[in-house]
């Protein structure tokens, strides 16, 4: 890991690292916030945050106001990038923001030209945690959250890795991407067809509404969603609520009156999510 | 004023406006955060925030985490841009980031080609407050703060307008710009020579270290400065501390061990500044 920048923040430290990733076969950048408790010789549990379309490792760290609360609670924040990047990494030939760079959907692509690098599922679920747990004062006690495409990522990564996360939440997640078809700006079917091919059964393996029916672990889901979010038709929280109800999967949806899809919405409610995750991260008796 | 965007945030609202400015003779953009108390039929006092080199109205609003505290305290935040912009607005022929667009130094330029638009002193001290106090639920009870070049701006705008501000603070301000000469990246002499001409006595009229000796109002100054700030030689807080001591001007300098010049530093300490300003803004008995 190469340290590329470091800033003191709320008594802890915000760092950005680059490293050669074997999962994505390129150099990946990620950010980590280490609270004061991690700089005093101890190890701390971590919240993994997955960001949305067009984001990098920086958006959440700069805009969410999360470091103040993470400092107090003594949890690390880990923010990967949203896709592979660099020479040879495929980009959307149509130039949309919904496929390609910044738009990896946290899945393992099987199709050309995407599969050489777009292996974000393996990267965020396995390679990145192994790396930071080996090289930083971070334990294997993990929670996961994210926003928009990253909320989708948090849902599928947790659902497909039972036992790996203590808690799961999401802000305005894309809940049912295999059903979302709105042309070139599709936050779902167009990208899934490119990355996974025409067989829609392969899409369902990365779709929270499809996955929730068949889980062995009933990890509760905490969702916050703005009622004035222009993207609601592409997010489909109602489909996830209905699917959860069918299998009695515990799910709390906080509809936030008047809030939209911006980071001001995330910032307004991040503290409540961080306190929710801290409760699970510091719970006794079920070290995993 | 044209509303160009609006986001609900911490129960209040973040808005960006554009308007034709008579001071700068171009269209200016600014941002305002209105706390819940301003949306319930009342008027609220305001903290004016001046940003640093290369910034716009957006940096502070997105990165400082100030809206959470402003919401609680019931104060508006007002963030102007850092320079005029648009067709016909002069840019630095050498292309530096320290003169021209994003680098107006909050002064009234007297030299060609700058003087047609670079009248930021009049804009932030007079035109913008008059506009928002007439058109938004904001009172004329004002405080002012800023970061880096904007910290310089806060200092000189308050010092040159006795009675207009209840309180004054700055993060890592450029304290003594007429003394700062470090080539094309100068945060002082090169820009001041361009904007104000060769007579250095005109520079002193916009230099806090020079101004502080001759003030009629002894408004206390609150400064926060990171001890690991790479820009310390261009900021010269020690010169302002010494100048204040000579005239017994009340000044508190919090040296923050290990912090640098980034917004993570501002975010780490903004709450203490906001509470300091709120105390002055809500003080009874000296309505101005």
B11 interface with A at CB cutoff 8 Å: yes
**Residue A284: which pLDDT band, with cuts at 50, 70 and 90?**
confident
Q: What is the pLDDT of residue B284?
A: 81
Residue in B176, B261, B273, B277 annotated catalytic: B261
Nearest Cα to Cα of residue A115 among A31, A200, A197: A197
Report the residue from A9, A259, A264 with minimal CB separation from B264.
Answer: A9
Separation in Å, CA of A63 to nearest CA in chain B: 5
pLDDT band, residue B236 (cuts 50/70/90)? very high
Helix residue spans in chain A (DSSP H): 36-39, 58-63, 66-73, 120-122, 128-135, 149-159, 189-196, 200-204, 208-211, 232-235, 237-246, 263-281
pLDDT for the residue A285? 58
Inspect the interface and report whether the beta carbons of A263 and B62 lie closer than 8 Å: yes
Q: In this predicted model, what pLDDT tens digit does every residue of A138-169 receive, in sequence order?
A: 999 999 999 999 999 999 999 999 999 999 99
Closest residue in A to B68 (Cα) is A268
Nearest partner of B65 among A147, A14, A9, A168, judged by Cα:
A9
3-class DSSP state for residue B274?
A: helix
Interchain CB contact of B33 with A (< 8 Å): no
Checking if the pLDDT of A183 tops 80, the result is: no
> pLDDT digits over A65-115, tens only?
999 999 999 999 999 999 999 999 999 999 899 999 999 999 999 999 999
Cβ distance A62 to B62 less than 8 Å, yes or no, reads yes
Given the residues B229, B249, B273, B277, select the one marked as catalytic. Answer: B229
Q: Do B68 and A67 lie within an 8 Å CB cutoff?
A: no
**Tokens coding A104:** 């990896």
**β-sheet bridge partners, residue B7:** B14
Q: Does A4 touch chain B (CB under 8 A)?
A: no
Per residue in A24-68, pLDDT (tens digit) is 999 999 999 999 999 999 999 999 999 999 999 999 999 999 999
Known catalytic membership, residue A167? no
ipTM of the complex: 0.94
Average pLDDT, chain A: 96
CA B112/CA A183 separation, integer angstroms: 51
Whole-number mean pLDDT of chain B?
Answer: 96
Distance of CA B160 to the CA centre of its chain: 13
Q: Active-site residue A261, yes or no? A: yes
- The distance of A207 to chain B (nearest Cα, Å) reads 29
Rounded Cα–Cα distance for residues B157 and B127 (Å): 13
Catalytic one among B21, B71, B145, B148?
Answer: B148
Q: Considering A14, A117, A249, A261, which one is annotated as catalytic?
A: A261
Residue A70 to chain B, least CA–CA distance (Å): 12
CA distance B7 to chain A (A): 7
User: Under a CB-based contact definition with an 8 Å cutoff, are residues B30 and B9 in contact?
Assistant: no
With 80 as the cut, is the pLDDT of residue A287 above it?
no
pLDDT band at residue B172 under the 50/70/90 scheme: very high
Q: Which residue of B has its CA nearest to A58?
A: B63
* pLDDT tens for each residue of B60-99: 999 999 999 999 999 999 999 999 999 999 999 998 999 9
Cβ count near A90 (within 10 Å) = 21
């Amino acid at each position: 890991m190469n340290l590329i920048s470091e800033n003191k923040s709320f008594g802890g430290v915000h760092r950005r690292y680059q490293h050669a990733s074997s999962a994505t076969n390129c150099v990946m950048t990620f950010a980590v916030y280490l609270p004061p408790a991690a700089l005093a010789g101890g190890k701390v549990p971590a919240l993994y945050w997955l960001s949305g379309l067009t984001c990098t490792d920086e958006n959440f760290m700069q805009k969410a106001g999360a470091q103040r609360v993470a400092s107090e609670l003594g949890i690390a924040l880990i923010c990967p990038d949203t896709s592979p990047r660099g020479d040879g990494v495929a980009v959307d030939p149509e130039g949309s923001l919904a496929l390609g760079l910044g738009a990896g959907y946290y899945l393992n692509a099987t199709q050309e030209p995407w599969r050489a690098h777009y292996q974000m599922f393996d990267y965020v679920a396995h390679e990145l945690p192994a790396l930071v747990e080996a090289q930083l004062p971070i334990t294997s006690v993990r929670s996961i959250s994210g926003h928009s495409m990253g909320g989708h990522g948090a849902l599928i990564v947790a659902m497909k890795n039972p036992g790996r996360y203590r808690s799961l939440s999401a802000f305005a997640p894309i809940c049912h991407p295999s059903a979302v078809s709105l042309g070139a700006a599709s936050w779902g079917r167009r990208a899934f067809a490119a990355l996974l091919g025409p067989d829609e059964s392969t899409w369902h393996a990365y779709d929270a509404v499809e996955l929730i029916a068949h889980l062995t672990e009933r990890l509760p889901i905490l969702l916050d969603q703005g009622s004035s979010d222009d993207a609601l038709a592409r997010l489909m929280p109602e489909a996830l609520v209905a699917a959860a109800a069918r299998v009695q999967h515990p799910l709390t949806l906080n509809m936030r009156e008047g809030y939209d899809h911006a980071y001001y919405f995330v910032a307004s409610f991040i503290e409540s999510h961080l306190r929710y995750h801290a409760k699970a991260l510091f719970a006794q008796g079920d070290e995993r």
